[in-house]
Amino acid sequence: MRRALSPVLAAALLLAGCASPSPRFFGAEPVRVTQDGFRVAVYRRGNAAQAIRLDYARRGKHASARAALRGAIIAVTGCALDEGGAEGDSGVLVAELDCSPG
């Protein structure tokens, strides 16, 4: 039994380090950045972006992790976030973008 679990555990650990976008962002190339101490992958498709935190957030750091996701989207896209169109948590954030000049 122990030997049967080893490949499963190894595969799970390998996959745990991967960031896969939601279907809406399939095909978009990730831009990996470090924002406020958090490693983040940002995917953009049209006027929307998804940020995925790539590392661990300790207890008490989830608010700053969510702020880092927002900041990473702004830094990568150069656009503001449409405040009514941002959804997610400290691990994954999807936002509509406001790329209008001004």
Position 73, amino acid: I
Instruction: Indicate whether 8 pLDDT > 90.
Output: no
pLDDT digits (tens, 9 = 90+) for 22-44: 999 999 999 999 999 999 999 99
Position 39, amino acid: R
CA 36 to chain CA centroid, Å, is 14
Cα(17)–Cα(72) distance, integer angstroms: 19
Cα(50)–Cα(43) distance, integer angstroms: 5
Q: What is the pLDDT of residue 83?
A: 79
pLDDT digits (tens, 9 = 90+) for 50-68: 999 999 999 999 999 999 9
Closest CA to 83 of 93, 91, 23: 93
